[in-house]
Structure 1
């Protein structure tokens, strides 16, 4: 495999994956509609790697222009990140989430099949495990979700399973990742959410930089070691490298298949654990208050990533302290993100 199409390649995880692809001498083609990202990301990728990704400002729903990309480039595999991703927003605008995430993926798969491109790494999520599975989550557990966003991930996984059953040329990795945080160690790239952050780490960094007054911690009475929710946090660079490992596994497959892999640290940290680690890394106090639990939140979840270690030769290398250090390095050098 040489030429990789990355959908959503200017997003948080996609951009870091593009860096790792370019560092390993892949030719990278990015399609992104920039609805949740900045074109400056492409300049930062080039600055870090001294290489350029080919970029098309393009929505996956634009089938004719997406097909042109496949006609112009000898694409060997696709890493599919593109999609709307805010759980809360998805409950308010479910139809837009279903239309964008599901229809966009179906358009992509149709064009891939037409051009005989069957290697695919799909950006799935731990949300597919729902609320009722025991921890740690293992890949064979039944899937469900409590939000329209999560249901799009469950449904796309089912699309891909069904596509493989109908045509055994499909060669697919489903990467279910947990809570990506951190930033590129250069400080040139990191998480830059639009509006109020949905995720913990960018909210903490925005409090530290003075953009937010305080952090609301939703729930202080969970049955955890300090009463706050426990999650599995993973450095975005570790996560990006997981996609490279998955690509290499697809290239080595003698028999195509569809395989799911958890990408997580395999252990959980509470919200207060993360706050304390960040305070130490940044030498900053974080003002917070305990707020009522949010509907649908569970006390804790984390991955069993044994399968990824055994089959992809992948495991996390970077600590919570490094995640916090790199997140603060990014935010302190870019107080307004990519603006």
Structure 2
């Protein structure tokens, strides 16, 4: 098994992937600047996997610290999650997004080149496709990102393709996520953003627990079954398991590979509200608000390539996604109250 560096390792997807990778025997080193996570996550991870995980506090733009971490831990491969990830915020703060996401990736690649670590799984996004020209979205769809967040991901993907073309020893997988939701079955880790959530699922949970009075549904006049936007939601543990299989694939194949990770099925915002009410036994009040600029009506994946290349398929249901999210928020509320 490999010795892995996980950048953004205490974040939402990073922490769940660290659990999945550790459980399959990989030795994991977490690297994070804690800008959108908390050191207490390390205790939760230790409880889940049964041992302490190595942790380095640092910014992904700190090339010297990355070199030191890669060499001192004899790292074999890197999974790169670290970066900013809110579309709306990226429009307001594009410099921050390019600095963290693009400059950070360059810093990491320089460190990897120095340490001669040439296996990388990159946390990309379906936002690289921009406005869908057809559905479901497959990897052959044109990549025309429409916001700074998506463009930052696409810039990194293009850099990685150039690197793989320049040196046949590189092994790179760009995993294009759709909409990760849910939490680990233990309830000990989940999506817990600071401030008001940007994503639907943690917002639903905060409305259900009474922390936020109601949910704003942005648009009910889309050409969908109920008029609300439709997205491909995927359980975070299915996503985490995709990284294990991507590493296995890269152990046998060189080059640059882009792969969708999604379920291939879309759910509307009203579907999500109904499913969350069922899982929580709570009502989720909502109001219809105007459409948001840049939102598309429908977006869902074609996961065929992931099935063929990685032997991966999403296994968890929408009910699993909602139930695990609710369990996490209940555990969190109990721990805060105690």
Please report the TM-score for the alignment, with normalisation by the length of structure 2. Answer: 0.98
Deviation at 1:226, TM superposition (A): 0.3
Whether contact under 8 Å (1:40, 1:338) holds in the other structure is no
1:132 to partner: Cα distance:
4.1
Say if 1:97 and 1:152, in contact at 8 Å, map to a contact too: yes
SS in 1 for 2:19: helix
CA distance in 2, matches of 1:67, 1:119: 15
Q: What's the CA shift for 1:337?
A: 8.6
| Alignment partners' CA distance in 2, 1:10 and 1:88 | 23
Distance 1:153 1:338, change over 3 A: farther
User: What corresponds to 2:120 in structure 1?
Assistant: 120
Q: What are the within-5 Å matches in structure 2 for residues 100-115 of structure 1?
A: 100-115=100-115
Deviations 1:16-52 (A, max 9, x none): 0000111011110111000000111111111011022
Map 1:259-270 to 2 at 5 A.
Answer: 259-270=257-268
Q: What is the DSSP-based 3-state SS (H/G/I as helix, E as strand, rest coil) of the residue aligned with 1:267?
A: coil
C-alpha displacement of 1:338: 8.0
Does residue 317 of the first structure (1) align with residue 298 of the second (2)? no
Q: How does 1:189-200 map to 2 (within 5 A)?
A: 189-200=189-200
Show structure 2 runs of 5+ residues with no match.
none
Distance 2:291 2:149 in 1: 20
User: In the alignment, which residue of structure 1 is the partner of 2:40?
Assistant: 40
Q: Secondary structure at the match of 1:165?
A: helix
Corresponding residue number in structure 2 for 1:285:
283
Q: Measure, in 1, the Cα distance between the counterparts of 2:171 and 2:109.
A: 12
SS in 2 for 1:335: helix
Q: Deviations over 1:178-221 (max 9, x none)?
A: 00001011111100011111000000000011100000000000
1:67-97 CA-partner distances (Å, limit 9, x unpaired): 1112201111000000011111111111111
Aligned-CA RMSD value: 1.3
For the residue of structure 1 that corresponds to 2:42, the secondary structure is helix
Task: Give unmatched runs, 5+ long, in structure 1.
Answer: none
Q: Secondary structure at the match of 1:334?
A: helix
TM normalised by structure 1 equals 0.97
Does structure 1 conserve the Cα–Cα contact (< 8 Å) formed by 2:123 and 2:174? yes
Equivalent residue for 2:270? 272
Q: In 1, distance between residues paired with 2:317 and 2:71?
A: 42
**1:237 paired to 2:237:** yes
What's the counterpart of residue 227 of structure 2? 227
Q: Which residue of 2 aligns with 1:296?
A: 294
The answer to whether the 8 Å contact 2:181/2:233 transfers is: yes
Task: Name the stretch that deviates more: 129-138 or 14-23.
Answer: 129-138
Q: Deviations over 1:256-308 (max 9, x none)?
A: 11111100000100000010011111111110011000001010010000010
1:216 aligns to what SS in structure 2? strand
